[in-house]
């Protein structure tokens, strides 16, 4: 069932629909290409995270782990995993909003389940609650080691859809 939220000039929103099975609503090729390009900019480009799979309500990314991703004891740094979980969750949410909206994280919690030390990380994020302004996504970060994917961290991320007109960028 589709819910409509009244639009006002102070807080633009979009038509709402509940989160659905990813495969039911494919993204357009143009939107998918934009999200793939947009994902790896700024700090994320520096981190070397790359998009892998993009569907409505779902985003998957990966990174080939380098020395600079590791902490002093050789494990993959928790900050790398937290950044990956947060950013990938943001892009899972970004797949659900119209082009004139941006996504901002307002809260996230991450549980590190075991140390990661493999040659790569994969993050799989999916929207679990799609609201008109607030979107909740979950991320799972897998350590790629010894030919296996081992769940290393799980995050719950709350995000806000904000109309581009409401964002002010000061130089």
- Summarised one tens digit per residue, pLDDT across range 47-58 is 999 999 999 999
State yes or no: pLDDT of 8 exceeds 80: no
State yes or no: pLDDT of 10 exceeds 70: no
* SS3 readout for 35-62: HHHHHCCHHHHHHCCEEEEEECCEEEEE
Q: How far apart are CA 119 and CA 115, in angstroms?
A: 13
User: What percent of the chain has a predicted confidence (pLDDT) above 90?
Assistant: 80
Average pLDDT value for the chain: 88
pLDDT tens, 106-165?
999 999 999 999 999 999 999 999 998 999 999 999 999 999 999 999 999 999 999 999
Report pTM: 0.84
Nearest to 133 by CA among 85, 109, 98, 170: 98
Tokens matching residue 151: 């769940």
CATH homologous superfamily of 27-166 equals Hotdog Thioesterase (3.10.129.10)
């Amino acid at each position: 069932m589709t819910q409509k939220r009244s639009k006002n000039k102070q807080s633009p929103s979009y038509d709402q629909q509940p989160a659905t099975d990813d495969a039911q609503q494919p993204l357009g090729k143009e939107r998918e290409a934009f999200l793939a390009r947009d994902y790896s900019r700024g700090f994320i480009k520096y981190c070397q995270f790359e998009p892998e799979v993009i569907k409505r309500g779902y985003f998957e990314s990966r990174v080939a782990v380098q020395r600079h991703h590791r902490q002093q004891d050789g494990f993959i740094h928790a900050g790398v995993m937290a950044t990956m979980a947060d950013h990938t969750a943001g892009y899972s949410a970004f797949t659900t909003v119209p082009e004139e909206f941006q996504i901002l994280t307002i809260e996230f919690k991450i549980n590190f389940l075991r140390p990661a030390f493999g040659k790569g990380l994969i993050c799989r994020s999916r929207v679990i609650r799609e609201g008109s302004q607030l979107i909740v996504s979950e991320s799972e970060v897998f350590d790629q080691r010894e030919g296996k994917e081992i769940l290393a961290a799980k995050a719950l991320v709350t995000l806000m859809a904000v109309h581009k007109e409401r964002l002010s960028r000061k130089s």
